[in-house]
Amino acid sequence: MNNAWHDGTLDAEIIKVGCAGDGVQITAALPAGLARPLPAGRYFLVRCGAQSREERLSAWSIYARRALFAARVTRLDADRDAWTLHAQDDARDAGVAWLRERTPGETLNLLGPLGNGFPAPDAPQNLLLVTDSLRLPLLDTLIHATLDRGGRVTLIVVAGEWADVGLETLRSALPIAAEVRMAAEEGALRSHLQETLVWADGLAVALPGLAPAALANWVRDARLRVEEGFAQVLMQADLVCGSGACLACVVPTAGGGLTRACVNGPVFDLVQVAGGR
């Protein structure tokens, strides 16, 4: 069951609901063909507290849509893909709490996919990824796309805020070709980066606690300069309208200005948010 509404939203049938730490991950059926460009770092806005069109017109207890980030996408049948979607908030958020109570066969009303994600590799490359265990699923399609292009993947996983899982658990959820390193604290992260940045062709970061300016300094230390196109960063932002209208999502740029993460990100080139050279 997939219905497109004249307001641009989609109804998606829920296939599976699971917990991701204190958050939630939901797999839902969506029309085939939405997974271009690469879903990693892109998001949907989900209406919480209401499923049917009638409920959406009358149920306003959770009125702001919540962001669900794209993770895995697999083919379901000739017309539909199964998208696994992750909330970045935890169950203290009313929207996430409502999502955790959903069951297979129910409906999610979604807007998206939205935003600019991590660029798909256009050639074999050595890709370095930095994230935590909570956000690791957001990079799933990037990891697979890089390996499918004949590239190499090294992950540095920082101990997560809500899901401090072990190395073996992480490895079992990843392609066997991906190298995984754990970093329990900032010193370990910096040490891993010093070893790996010199040979990396690209860097993808989904780690809200790591300030872009600090990351740029570490890149300069290892590579002498920060080149445009080398590093992409998923920025933390309040994604509310997804259309550039409400300005809730602005993030600072290297030039001293602000930019809207919902339409110009949430993935940005490191040079844009921290400066080059």
Residues that bind ligand FES (CB under 6 A): 239-242, 244-249, 260, 262
Q: Which is nearer to ligand FES, 20 or 249 (CB)?
A: 249
| CA–CA separation, 208 and 210 (whole Å) | 5
Burial class of residue 28, CB neighbours in 10 A (0-12, 13-18, 19+):
buried
Provide the minimum distance between the beta carbon of 261 and ligand FES in the complex, in angstroms, as a whole number: 6
Provide the minimum distance between the beta carbon of 263 and ligand FES in the complex, in angstroms, as a whole number: 6
Residue 76: partners with Cβ closer than 8 Å, 6 or more residues away: 15, 29, 82
Residue whose entry in the numeric block shows the structure tokens 């849509």: 65
Q: Which is nearer to ligand FES, 4 or 245 (CB)?
A: 245
Of all residues in the shown chain, the one whose CB is closest to ligand FES is 262
Provide the minimum distance between the beta carbon of 206 and ligand FES in the complex, in angstroms, as a whole number: 19
Residue 57 tokens, joined:
């017109």
| CA–CA separation, 159 and 130 (whole Å) | 11
Q: Which is nearer to ligand FES, 48 or 170 (CB)?
A: 48
Q: Which is nearer to ligand FES, 65 or 144 (CB)?
A: 65
Provide the minimum distance between the beta carbon of 67 and ligand FES in the complex, in angstroms, as a whole number: 9
Provide the minimum distance between the beta carbon of 51 and ligand FES in the complex, in angstroms, as a whole number: 23
Provide the minimum distance between the beta carbon of 243 and ligand FES in the complex, in angstroms, as a whole number: 6
DSSP state for residue 266 in the 8-state scheme: B
Residue type, 112: G
Q: Which is nearer to ligand FES, 35 or 240 (CB)?
A: 240
Q: Which is nearer to ligand FES, 182 or 248 (CB)?
A: 248
Nearest to 152 by CA among 126, 129, 134, 113: 126
> Which residue blocks in the chain are alpha helix, DSSP H?
53-58, 94-100, 140-148, 167-172, 186-196, 212-223, 261-264, 270-274
